[in-house]
Every structure is written in C-alpha cells, then in structure tokens.
Amino acid sequence: TNLRMQLENMLGQDITGTIEVGTLPRVTAEQLSAIDLEKDRKMVLRRNPDVQAAENKEDSLFGSGMTGDLLDSMSDAADYGIESAKLQAEMKFRSLYGELMDCRQVLTNAKSSLEVEQLAYQAEELKYNQGTISKNAFLAAADELQTAKEAVLTAENNLFSTYNEYNWAVKHGIFM
C-alpha cells in the first residue's frame, strides 16, 4: 500500500493506495520497422540540448559586439563546440540504435528457444505419462520451459525499455 501511495504521489494523482499496475505494453514489429535511422538521427541532432546550447553560444558571440581576431577565434572555438556536441550526440544515438537492434535479436532468439523448450516439454510429458522417465526428469523439463518463458519476458521488457529510450532521444534529444 505504501508503494502504491508513493507511485500515486509521483504521478500527481490522489493518494489512495489503490492504483493498479498492469503489464508493460509490447513493442510491435510495425513499430520497429517504422524506425528510420537517418531521419531520427537528424531529429536528435536538432533537439539535443547540448547541441542547442553550443549553437546558442555561437549566436551570442555575434550579438556581443566583438570584432576582429578575437571574434574569429571565439567563433572558431564555438564551431568546434557545436561539432563536438553533434558528434557526441550522434555517437550516443547510434549506440542506442545498436542496443535497440540487439534487444530485438535477443527477443527473437528467446522466442525461438521457447518454442524448442515447449516441444521438448511436450515430449517429456508424454514420456512421463507413459512411465519411461522419472518425475525428476519431467520436472527438469518443466523448469527448462519456465526458464525459457522468463527469458522471453525479460527480453520483451528490455526491448520495451530500450525502445522508449530511443523514442525519448528522437522526440526530445535527451539520452537516459
């Protein structure tokens, strides 16, 4: 109840302790196929606060009234700062994209493993019902099936988390 009340408080809701937490939504294949890396990269570079701050710093130089060599060297330094901020943001974004694609592959592999474990479990269940294997062998197969189910759930949660980080980066230019 205390944790529910804390969650309600963080969400700005009335504190009743009655909030219910559901399951996470799943990332669909359509959502993943809609990703356009190049378009998203451009959005990130436009919206990244570090890039914006570097660009604002350069803009403020021209409004400062400076002239001559000092303005030129300060402008060069500001240009370097902009390029550095863009490079850092792009590296973070490409790393996040790679992580997202890795999570997708891990989920695909986990689902394949689950299918294999389900077939193995069915075979072990049949053998157990026929009396050709021990209960311990049957329970070991059940454990393997449960482990495969948990691996799929973990992979789905990791994909969800990484997909939301990716969207946050694209929409707001911010990396978590």
46, two tokens: 């436009």
Please report, rounded to a whole number, the percentage of residues in the chain having pLDDT higher than 70. 95
pTM, rounded to two decimals: 0.79
Q: For residue 16, what pLDDT is reported? A: 92
pLDDT digits (tens, 9 = 90+) for 59-92: 777 666 666 776 677 778 888 899 999 999 999 9
| 3-class state of residue 28 by DSSP | coil
| Contacts for 94 with CB less than 8 Å, ≥ 6 apart | 41
How far, CA to CA in Å, does 28 sit from each of 104, 136, 161? 10, 38, 13
d(CA 24, CA 6): 19
CA of residue 62 relative to chain centroid, distance = 39
Report the alpha-carbon distance of residue 98 to residue 155 in Å, rounded: 15
